Amino acid sequence: MLRANFPDPFLLEAEGRIYAYATNSAGRRVQVSSSHDLQHWSPPTDGLARLPAWVNQNKPDVWAPEVMRFDSYYVLYFSARSATLLRPDGIGRLCIGTAVSKQPDREFVPNDTPLICDEFAEGVIDVSPFRDGGRVYLYFKNDGNCCKLPTWIFARELDATGLAMVGETSRLGLSNDQPWEGHVIEAPTMLKHEGAYYLFYSANAYDKPEYAVGYARCDGPLGPCKDASTQPLLATPAQPVGWFGPGHQSILSFQGRTVMAYHAWNVLPDGKKDRCRAMHISELKWAESGEPFVAPDMSPAEPWRCPTGR
């Protein structure tokens, strides 16, 4: 666990270490921490050199960053709020941006035009890159829940630089149509395992115990995809363990095992929700049937408080 407000975590192995990235907090626009063993984490620092020109400088909302390496540089993908474009409810539209650095953990210089914005009047968030052989794809969801619209997961191919889109946007066939998913499906993560494609995602209200992780099987990187189960893969335990609402997962293969990072709300000793979503890491395993399962740590968490200046 990383005991800090570290929501929407993403893991990357690079330069001999594991790097974790998270949504803005405590004045840091893109939070970055690192570890050599997935157990001990450095204090989070800010990985973004500056805000891009297209972003609202007073309310940037830099959310859910993820990183991929391309040749000699790293590309950071993130959501942020437009300074000029509004969604149907009159609030600044969320768009997808990019930034580039020679290092995996600092001085990401943003591009001053968004990568994805005009195509979705309601906005787009939760961007996630996926490499399949020599091709790279980008996954994201429309921000339909902002405006009482359905939410869908989309994908589109990237060019060799990782900084431009090619082809057409594909809707993968996944929406918030299962009872457990509530009003939103989000946070896509594509994984290829033994030749099969699995799209993991989170759904339901992010600040409620019902928030959870599900998955779908896909015919290929651009879908179509179909929910594999009517129940979530990872959900709040039936017995309190000091946290609830696991979600916004990231998956990493490391030292012969596969792990899933996710955030969950910290719960105070009196049972009330703290203001932190700490990063948790659990092993992702596979049944003989080829279906994934996650066994989260069920031991009670040692009580702790959200750090001052979160």
- Show me where the domains of the chain are located: 10-294
**Apex 23 CA angle, 76 and 265, nearest 5:** 145
Residue 230 CA to its chain's centroid (Å): 22
Please tell me the distance from the alpha carbon of residue 155 to that of residue 136, in angstroms, as a whole number: 10
Residues 55, 59, 64: CA angle, nearest 5 degrees: 75
**Entry pTM:** 0.96
pLDDT means per 10 residues, the chain with 310 residues, are 93 96 96 96 96 96 98 97 95 97 98 95 97 97 91 97 96 94 96 96 96 97 95 88 92 94 89 88 92 79 68
Could you tell me which CATH class the domain 10-294 is placed in?
mainly beta
Token pair of 193 as six digits: 């395992």
DSSP code per residue over the chain: -B-S---S-EEEEETTEEEEEE--BTTBSSEEEEESSSSS-PPPEE-BSS--TTB-SSS---EEEEEEEETTEEEEEEEEEEEEEE-TTSSEEEEEEEEEESSSSS-BEEPSS-SB-TT-TT-EEEEEEEEETTEEEEEEEE-GGGGT---EEEEEEE-TTSSSEEEEEEEEEEES-SGGGTT-EEEEEEEEETTEEEEEEEES-TTSTT-EEEEEEESSTT--EEES-SS-SB---SS--SEEEEEEEEEEEETTEEEEEEEEEEE-TTS-EEEEEEEEEEEEEE-TTS-EEE----SPPPP--PPTT-
pLDDT at residue 122 in the model: 95
Place of tokens 């596979």: 286
Q: Are 274 and 267 in contact (CB under 8 A)?
A: yes
Q: How far is CA 237 from CA 182, 230, 243, in A?
A: 18, 17, 9
Residue 154: is it exposed, middle or buried by C-beta count within 10 angstroms (0-12/13-18/19+)? buried
Name the token pair of 100.
């580039």
Any residues with CB less than 8 A from the CB of 177 and at least 6 apart, and which?
227
Q: C-alpha distances in angstroms, 197 versus 38, 130, 177, 221?
A: 25, 11, 21, 7
